């Protein structure tokens, strides 16, 4: 069984960012469907995707909904700095800030997770 943490860093302002974010969701779904241990984390500009993907009319909403149970959190510092902290929390996503307000990637590596970034 694989242990993978997939990190969405992409911003919401380009088609390239949308492609990266959707590819990340698809990767999470592939690992989930294989019954692997997979976590999804939104960091950097990534937390901005949470309120976008939560919209029922967003083209990737169904894919997002299919993997929402694998979201381990969003970066507390980045969500705050980007002005989406309240929106992230209202979407039911936990804020992570173990390492100076950011998720701890060292902890994930120590737990045997491979890290993939999008």
Domain locations along the chain = 3-117
Average pLDDT over residues 100-106: 97
CATH code, residues 3-117: 3.40.1260.10
pLDDT tens digit string along 88-97?
Answer: 999 999 999 9
List Cα–Cα distances, 15 to 5, 21, 80, 88, 108, in angstroms.
24, 10, 24, 22, 30
Structure confidence at residue 106 (pLDDT):
97
User: pTM higher than 0.95 for the full model?
Assistant: yes
Calculate ∠ Cα 74-94-105, nearest 5°: 45
Burial (0-12, 13-18, 19+ Cβ within 10 Å), 48: buried
Comparing C-alpha atoms, which of 37, 44, 46 is closest to residue 70?
37
What confidence tens digit (pLDDT) does each residue in 28-76 have? 999 999 999 999 999 999 999 999 999 999 999 999 999 999 999 999 9
């Amino acid at each position: 069984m694989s242990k993978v943490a997939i990190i969405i860093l992409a911003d919401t302002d380009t088609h390239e960012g949308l492609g990266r974010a959707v590819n990340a969701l698809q990767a999470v779904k592939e690992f989930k469907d294989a019954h692997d241990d997979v976590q999804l984390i939104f960091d950097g500009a990534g937390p901005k995707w949470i309120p976008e993907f939560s919209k029922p009319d967003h083209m990737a909403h169904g894919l997002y909904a299919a993997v929402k149970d694998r979201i381990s959190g969003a970066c507390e510092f980045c969500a705050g700095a980007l002005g989406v902290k309240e929106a992230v929390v209202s979407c039911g996503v936990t804020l992570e800030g173990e390492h100076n307000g950011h998720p701890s990637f060292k902890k994930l590596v120590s737990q045997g997770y491979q890290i993939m970034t999008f």
